[in-house]
């Protein structure tokens, strides 16, 4: 695919218009095929949702709070290319990301780029919601002009400080200014840019956003539990504190390697948000990761964890009438058999192991992405790279029934971060899935390969181009990171 040029894209434009025109009976992209009555509580929101970040989730959260159902229109690859520029993720990946959002009731693929009254009316939506930024089509006209004229448009506040364009810029310019050094100090207003008062205001806003994203599917009630694990840097990185190479005074003596083992720490679990705790009989599962550029690779893995653990619960009679009746009697309602806790590594831990300028999203941003995912029940900020016995035993709900992880190809290691979990007999490796290779590394690679197209996209937005210098800088950082990873492995060889 190439970017559109004046006059050159007429045929493609006509093709896109035909796809996005009002479908004939039986040809709507998803059911229902028959129009449903319009309801004020059924809300429509649409967009590209390209490598869906917490800004997209924030818009869906606000839209969901305005009604009882949220239908999410997702534009096609072709219409986005025509009107905005190339996408990083294809339509299937973007739809899957939307489907994983806790506040989305249903996704509608191939939704028209210019929001159409017949489309929203067919699916029974009275109102369309969008952020307070301006979105234009390839002709420079407002994409929401028709629904605005009909009085069926509502505005929500755009999430500040994050956009797909921002993230692409971080990748190409290799910046690290988005990193958070201390999550604890940042949330206390003690670290960051600005005056003391400005930092406190920003900290309060961050904590409030965490609380907002931790709501249930309605966006109004408590949902997820949120914790911050406070411990030393070596305990979080799970590395030896020092590796010394020295020769004794006797020149015939061999070189000696002196190491110090990192002392296991229980750390302190600080409760940031109170939500729903595990219920009787639920299998508590712990997963961890960077969750950088949160994508379908992550959401499908989490869904697969839920399915795998649910099958085990079903085999043990979870759906039996007597068990279901007991749950309802004791808790007032039935509930799912799995309670999933997601541990998120902090920025310095990820950069220690991956190098370059990973993570592309800081821990706060990654945490919001994980919080919005419907497969997650609790989040632990600042989780260690290797879950130790002390950490697992001190988790707020006790040692989990399962520690799950999938095969890692982006950052291969010669040591086993899950050795302790295996020794405890609670580790479970989750198999591959359709989006197995969609991760931060691949997303960055897609951006780098399509750099010329993204340069044009930036230019259309009035943004400064990245240029060859940025490319060379990233290449150099990747080479440095490769050398650092080799050093980390040598360091691990001499650990206990």
- Read out DSSP for 41-81? EEEEEEE--TT--HHHHHHHHHHHTTSSEEEEEE--HHHHH
3-state helix, strand, coil in the chain (%, to 5): 40, 15, 45
> Are residues 103 and 200 located together in one domain of the fold?
no
| Phi–psi pair at 359, nearest 5 degrees | -80, 150
Domain boundary among 439, 464, 480: 439
Instruction: Specify if 150 maps to a domain.
Output: yes
> Are residues 273 and 338 located together in one domain of the fold?
yes
pLDDT at 414: 65
Host domain of residue 86: 35-160
pLDDT at 254: 38
Whole-angstrom distance, CA of residue 90 vs CA of residue 442: 13
Instruction: Specify if 445 maps to a domain.
Output: no
Using omega within 30 degrees of 0 as the cis cutoff, is the peptide bond preceding 32 cis?
yes
Per DSSP, the three-state class of 287 is strand
Whole-angstrom distance, CA of residue 117 vs CA of residue 73: 13
Instruction: Specify if 28 maps to a domain.
Output: no
Instruction: Specify if 29 maps to a domain.
Output: no
> Are residues 225 and 311 located together in one domain of the fold?
yes
> Are residues 55 and 140 located together in one domain of the fold?
yes
Q: Which positions ≥6 away from 18 have C-beta within 8 Å?
A: none
- 469 burial level (CB within 10 Å; 0-12, 13-18, 19+): exposed
Host H or E run for residue 324:
helix 321-331
User: Are the beta carbons of 151 and 159 closer than 8 angstroms?
Assistant: no
The angle, 0 to 180 degrees and rounded to 10, between the axes of the packed helices 54-64 and 363-371 is 40
> Are residues 271 and 138 located together in one domain of the fold?
no
Instruction: Specify if 474 maps to a domain.
Output: no
Instruction: Specify if 385 maps to a domain.
Output: yes
Nearest-5° Cα angle at 110, 109 to 113: 120
Cα–Cα distances (Å) from 223 to 24, 44, 86, 218, in that order, read: 40, 23, 36, 9
Tokens of 11: 């045929």
> Are residues 139 and 188 located together in one domain of the fold?
no
Instruction: Specify if 457 maps to a domain.
Output: no
> Are residues 153 and 269 located together in one domain of the fold?
no
> Are residues 228 and 280 located together in one domain of the fold?
yes
User: Which residue's entry shows tokens 């930036």?
Assistant: 458
> Are residues 315 and 433 located together in one domain of the fold?
yes
Instruction: Specify if 5 maps to a domain.
Output: no
> Are residues 216 and 303 located together in one domain of the fold?
yes
The CATH number that applies at residue 144 is 3.40.50.620
> Are residues 154 and 228 located together in one domain of the fold?
no
Bridge partners, 378 (sequence order): 225, 341
Q: Which positions ≥6 away from 275 have C-beta within 8 Å?
A: 214, 222, 223, 224, 225, 226, 377, 378
Domain boundary among 160, 194, 212: 160
Per-residue b or e along 169-182, where b marks 16 or more CB atoms closer than 10 Å to that residue's CB: bbbbbbeeebebeb
Domain boundary among 420, 439, 458: 439
The total of other beta-carbon atoms located within 10 Å of residue 496's CB is 7
- Tell me the Cα Rg of the chain: 25
**Residue stretches of the chain with pLDDT short of 70:** 1-20, 52, 239-262, 408-414, 452-496
> Are residues 380 and 323 located together in one domain of the fold?
yes
* Number of structural domains the chain divides into: 2
């Amino acid at each position: 695919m190439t970017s559109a040029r004046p006059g050159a894209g007429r045929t493609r434009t006509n093709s896109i218009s035909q796809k996005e025109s009002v479908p004939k009976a039986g040809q709507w992209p998803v059911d229902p095929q028959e129009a449903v009555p319009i309801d004020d509580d059924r809300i429509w929101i649409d967009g590209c949702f390209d490598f869906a970040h917490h800004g997209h989730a924030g818009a869906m959260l606000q839209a969901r709070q305005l009604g009882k159902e949220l239908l999410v229109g997702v534009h096609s690859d072709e219409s986005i290319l025509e009107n905005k520029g190339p996408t990083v993720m294809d339509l299937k990946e973007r739809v899957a990301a939307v489907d994983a959002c806790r506040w989305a009731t249903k996704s509608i693929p191939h939704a028209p780029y210019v929001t159409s009254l017949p489309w929203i009316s067919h699916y029974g939506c009275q109102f369309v919601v969008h952020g307070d930024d301006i979105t234009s089509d390839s002709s420079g006209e407002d994409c929401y002009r028709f629904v605005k004229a009909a009085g069926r448009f509502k505005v929500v506040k755009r999430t500040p400080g994050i956009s797909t364009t921002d993230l692409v810029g971080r990748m190409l310019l290799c910046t690290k200014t988005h990193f958070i050094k201390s999550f604890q100090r940042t949330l206390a207003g003690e670290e960051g840019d600005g005056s003391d008062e400005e930092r406190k205001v920003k900290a309060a806003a961050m904590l409030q956003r965490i609380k907002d994203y931790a709501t249930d599917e309605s966006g109004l009630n408590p949902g997820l539990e949120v914790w911050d694990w406070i411990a030393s840097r070596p305990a979080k990185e799970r590395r030896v504190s020092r590796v010394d190479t020295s020769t004794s005074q006797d020149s015939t003596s061999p070189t000696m390697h002196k190491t110090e083992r990192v002392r296991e720490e229980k750390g302190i679990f600080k409760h940031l948000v109170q939500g729903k705790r595990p219920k009787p009989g639920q299998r508590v599962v712990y997963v961890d990761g960077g969750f950088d550029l949160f994508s379908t690779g992550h959401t499908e893995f989490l869904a697969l964890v839920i399915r795998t653990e649910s099958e085990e619960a079903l085999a043990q009679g979870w759906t039996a009438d007597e068990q279901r009746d007991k749950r309802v009697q004791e808790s007032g309602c039935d509930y799912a058999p799995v309670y999933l806790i997601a541990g998120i590594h902090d920025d310095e831990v990820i950069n220690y192991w991956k190098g370059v300028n990973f993570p592309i999203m800081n821990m706060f941003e990654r945490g919001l992405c994980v919080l919005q995912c419907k497969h997650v029940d609790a989040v632990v900020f600042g989780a260690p790279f290797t879950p130790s016995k002390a950490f697992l035993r001190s988790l707020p709900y006790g040692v989990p029934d399962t520690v799950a992880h999938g095969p890692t190809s982006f950052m291969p290691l010669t040591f086993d971060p899950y050795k302790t979990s295996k020794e405890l007999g609670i580790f479970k490796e989750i198999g591959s899935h359709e989006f197995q290779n969609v991760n931060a590394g691949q997303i960055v690679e897609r951006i780098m390969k399509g750099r010329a197209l993204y340069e044009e996209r930036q230019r259309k937005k009035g943004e400064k181009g990245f240029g060859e210098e940025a490319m060379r800088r990233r290449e150099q950082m990747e080479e440095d990171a490769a050398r650092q990873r080799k050093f980390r492995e040598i360091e691990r060889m001499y650990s206990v």
